[in-house]
Amino acid sequence: MKATLLGSGLLVAASWSYLRHVQLPVGPSRMHWGELVFGHRGCRFIPSIPENTLPAFQYALDNGANGIELDVRLSKDNEVVVFHDAYFNQHMKQTEPTKRVDQLDLFEIKQLSFECDPTNEVRIPTLEEIILYCREKQLKMLIEIKELERPRVCVDKVLELYRRYPEFMYQETTVIAFSPSVLYNLRSKDKNVAVGQLYSGEVIHAWVTTGAEKAPAIFALAPWFFDKIALIMQSKINPWVTGVSVVCPKYTLFSPKMRRMWHSRRIAVYCWGFSKPQECDEEMRTKGVMVACDDRHAEFATAKPPPNFDIFGDAERRAEEEANEARRRQQLSR
């Protein structure tokens, strides 16, 4: 028994020591992004407007969004394109639904038109095209890296755009992802990039059941178990190890206590997954908290914080510090 306890203690100590060794410094602050509303994929489920396209981003801007959230993948020739799914599914004309995005080069992708677009003119954009659009419109960007087949190549390609447009990218963009390794790889190469860790508590289950990406076979044995492990990694360990600027929970996992904890560390919160504005309560519309929505963007911006709201939730701590300082001054004056 003693040997087991000793071995467990040594394992914990070694793990803690390793994490401290690989820990990266905290990234650029995004606390000032709080109260902003982002168009999730620009907009979704709007007739005649394909998501993750220039018309979708323009729709978000026209309807009250302060920034846009988008998804990126690699084409066959390693160009970064803005598209959510790994497969084209039923979204595109002139191609089979079972075709993967990374099976076509950029030229071939640009020949495809969207099923829901009556004009047949809207095309899948590149990330660079959207960067130029957002720079012109003064929109902030949340760039979600979806690429799982060649994540390191995708990270390198995104970082090339940071070097190409540094005045905009470092100040007005944040890279987000579900994959802790993608975020750690990115920040280990450039510590000036702001990143955000996405989590939902259901990522492994969705990965296994949807079949959108090839999941390791072991995940199918007990997705609920691996979801618990992933949630711990995504919500507690990786934000600290990677030095994230933002934590990005699905809105159902948000709590005032969680907000206060991250804000005390100067880390912003980003909530997503809403289906209607009523799900976005006052605590989510405060400084240091940003949200994303599919539509009705202006309505998500209308919630106001309660009177005398304390952004960091540490009014008592500050009062105690002030009292201690007053006592210290009194002792010095004697």
Q: pLDDT digits over 144-193, tens only?
A: 999 999 999 999 999 999 999 999 999 999 999 999 999 999 999 999 99
| 6 part of a folded domain | no
Three-state DSSP state, 293: strand
| 17 part of a folded domain | no
| 171 part of a folded domain | yes
Q: How far apart are CA 76 and CA 152, in angstroms?
A: 15
Q: How far apart are CA 44 and CA 143, in angstroms?
A: 17
pLDDT-based confidence at residue 251 (cuts at 50, 70, 90)? very high
Neighbours of 72 (CB within 10 A): 23
Contact 244, 116 (CB under 8 A): no
pLDDT tens for residues 18-77? 555 589 999 999 999 989 999 999 999 999 999 999 999 999 999 999 999 999 999 999
Q: Count H helices and E strands in the chain, helices first.
A: 13, 9
Listed residue (266, 300, 274, 273) closest to 285, CA to CA: 300
Looking at the structure of the chain, the number of domains it has is 1
Beta bridge partners of 142: 69, 174
Q: Are strands 80-82 and 195-199 parallel, antiparallel or unpaired?
A: unpaired
| 226 part of a folded domain | yes
| 11 part of a folded domain | no
pLDDT-based confidence at residue 325 (cuts at 50, 70, 90)? low
Q: How far apart are CA 62 and CA 133, in angstroms?
A: 14
| 14 part of a folded domain | no
**CATH for 153:** 3.20.20.190
pLDDT-based confidence at residue 308 (cuts at 50, 70, 90)? very low
Quote the domain boundaries for residue 96.
23-333
| 4 part of a folded domain | no
Q: What Å distances lie between residue 326 and 116, 173, 229, 315, 319, CA to CA?
A: 67, 43, 46, 16, 11
pTM, entire model: 0.86
pLDDT reported for residue 39: 98
Q: Which residues are CB-neighbours of 41 under 8 A, at least 6 positions away?
A: 51, 52, 56, 69, 70, 71, 84, 294
Q: Which residues are CB-neighbours of 302 under 8 A, at least 6 positions away?
A: 277, 285
- Write out the two tokens for 188: 């280990």
**Which comes out higher in pLDDT, residue 221 or 178?**
178
Contact 51, 295 (CB under 8 A): no
| 237 part of a folded domain | yes
pLDDT-based confidence at residue 307 (cuts at 50, 70, 90)? very low
